[in-house]
Homo-oligomer: A and B are copies of this chain.
Amino acid sequence: MTVLVVGSVALDSVETPFGKADDVLGGSGTFFSAAASLLTPVQLVGVVGDDYPVDKLQPLADRGVDLSGLERAEGPSFRWRGRYRHDLNSAETLETHLGVFSRFSPKIPEAFRSAPFVFLANIDPRLQLDVLKQVQRPKLVACDTMNFWIESRRPELMELLGHVDLITVNDGEARQLSEKANLVQAARWIMSHGPRHVIIKKGEHGAFMFTEDTIFFAPAYPLESVFDPTGAGDSFAGGFIGYLAKTGDLSEGNMRRAVIYGSAMGSFAVEKFSIERLLEVTREDLGSRIRDFRKLVAFEEELE
């Protein structure tokens, strides 16, 4: 089944202890699409400026990302410049230029409106709500958000929570949104405001998926070298939703598998700059990493 994603399509300039990249493909919509499209067809809605190297998106189109919802507006593209220090844990934002993204108003093409899976990447909750008015009863709607919107658009974000099935946030955002330090309590608070599933991403420390009466935990894959953490969270979401859309199965067991697919995609994303690694990864690589995840956590209870 098809996934519709609405998010940013940006140009990133990144500095890590291992190298530097300038004006490479970035943005939540881009990372999500690169990851999800290994598994299922993707429809991308976003905006780029007239300076965007759209030909560089061709590899995404070749993998089955429908770019007909990618608007081209007059003016500069969204640009982000960041740096990671030695521990790679958190990006230091050096520059953000929203460019045409600041006037983004998502228009969902007619052909995209019946997508059964919808991912509202991290954009203004008012726009996320607006997207939901344009689509027809998806099987699953998931959203992401960030500290900026939690602060500046709390009422709209709370309204959004009432209309999504699942939210992905990182641990800091979960705490900020719920005003609870304990993550189990934070997840319960969020679920009490709408979503049946809450995924809390902890970066190198893995991810939790909470439902009303279950908790699932997936570690991050212990890589010997992490090259560039940019986009790991959106790649996680792409692998997760992509797998759900591929299988069309929303059972607890399948959602657990989907979290592992998300974790695997996140682990590939950080091995190179931008979406480079995601575009190289094959279904076989993915399968192999899924088996490695299983080995990582596998233990047998003793027979007594």
Which A residues form the contact surface with B (CB < 8 A)?
A: 86-88, 181-185, 202, 205-206, 208, 214-219, 222-226, 247, 253, 256-257, 259-260, 287, 290-291, 294-302, 304
What is the CB-to-nearest-CB distance from A38 to chain B, in angstroms, rounded to a whole number?
A: 15
C-alpha spacing A181/B84, complex, angstroms = 13
B86 touches A181 (CB 8 A): yes
Residue contact B224 to A296, C-beta cutoff 8 Å: no
A185–B253 alpha-carbon span in the complex (Å): 33
- 5 cross-chain pairs, A with B, having the tightest CB-CB distances, nearest first: A205-B205, A256-B299, A297-B297, A184-B224, A217-B219
Q: State the CA gap A256–B300 with chains docked (Å).
A: 8
Closest to A203 in B: B205
CB–CB A296/B205 < 8 A: no
In the bound complex, do residue A222 and residue B226 qualify as a contact, i.e. CB atoms below 8 Å apart? no
- Chain B proximity of A189: nearest CB distance (Å): 12
In the complex, residue of chain B having the shortest beta-carbon distance to the beta carbon of A293: B299
Of B215, B223, B247, B304, the contact of A296 (CB 8 Å cutoff): B215
Knowing A181-B86, A205-B202, A206-B206, say if A297 contacts B223 (CB, 8 Å). Answer: no
6 contacts between A and B (CB under 8 A): A185-B224, A205-B206, A206-B206, A256-B300, A257-B301, A294-B299
Residues in B whose Cβ lies below 8 Å from that of A88: 181
Given known contacts A217-B219, A219-B206, A222-B208, A87 and B300 CB-to-CB distance under 8 angstroms:
no
Which of B182, B208, B247, B302 is close to A224, meaning CB atoms less than 8 Å apart?
B182
- Other than the given A214-B295, A260-B299, A290-B301, 13 more pairs (CB < 8 A) read A182-B223, A182-B226, A184-B224, A185-B224, A206-B219, A208-B222, A216-B297, A216-B299, A218-B297, A219-B219, A253-B300, A256-B299, A294-B301
